[in-house]
Amino acid sequence: MIQPTECDDLLRLTPRQETAVELLLSGKSDAATADALGIHRTTIARWRAVHPAFQAELARRRAELYGAAAERLRALVPKALDVLENGLDGDDRLPTAHAVLKMAGFDKLAAPPIETEDADTIIVGLIRRRMDEKQTERAQRMSLDEKLRAMHAPASKEEQFALAHESLAEVKAELRERLSEV
């Protein structure tokens, strides 16, 4: 069980802070949010600037909101393409054709970059990403006190090698599995 620390108030939101996040995400300004909660607007600004849990929750919820908006936008792409296609069949086709080519990026006339990585470089990149994922997962399971201790006592070379070796084995197994599915 994780023991309470003196930072618990920075790791959790109060009900008032949760409401502030909701109001801000709905488009309310700091001043309007503060008025609705009966607090001063500088309190909202201070939460935004220095309160870790508030910053994290606002960022997480904003990412969810933007993600949902992006999905809605992607869902409109087929309809927009139909409109463009119909515009190409109309009497005034040149502006529509120009718009389509511009949207497709043909106005830049630059060839796409050619990647020249060798297999070792690709595998090392996959291993680094896997190691990062494992370290992130490990950090998410750690208490604040454990994270502070880890900052002052970084992993030894042996631990880093073991993590790299484990990641290599996982990457190789995953690649072999993916290749056998083809």
Asked whether residue 173 carries a pLDDT value surpassing 80, the answer given is yes
Q: What is the pLDDT of residues 35-77, one digit of tens each?
A: 999 999 999 999 998 888 899 899 999 999 988 888 887 887 7
For residues 33 and 61, state if they share a domain: yes
Bigger pLDDT: 164 vs 150: 164
Mean per-residue pLDDT, 15-29: 96
Of residues 169 and 34, more confidently modeled:
34
Q: Are both 13 and 73 inside the same structural domain?
A: yes
Higher pLDDT, 179 or 116: 179
Q: pLDDT: is 17 or 97 the higher one?
A: 17
Percent of the chain with pLDDT over 90: 25
In this structure, are 132 and 78 located in the same domain? no
Percent of the chain with pLDDT over 70: 86
Q: What is the DSSP string of the chain?
A: -PPP-TTHHHHS--HHHHHHHHHHHTT--HHHHHHHHTS-HHHHHHHHHH-HHHHHHHHHHHHHHHHHHHHHHHHHHHHHHHHHHHHHTSS-HHHHHHHHHHHTTTTT--PPPPP---HHHHHHHHHHHHHHHHHHHHHHHS-HHHHHHHHHSPPPHHHHHHHHHHHHHHHHHHHHHHHHT-
Q: Are residues 131 and 176 in the same domain?
A: yes
Lowest mean pLDDT among 6-20, 29-43, 73-87, 112-126: 112-126
Number of domains, the chain: 2
Q: Which of 43, 77, 103 is the last residue of a domain?
A: 103
Instruction: Tell me the whole-structure pTM to 2 decimals.
Output: 0.50
Tell me which of 103, 137, 166 is where a domain ends.
103
Is residue 110 predicted with pLDDT exceeding 70?
A: no
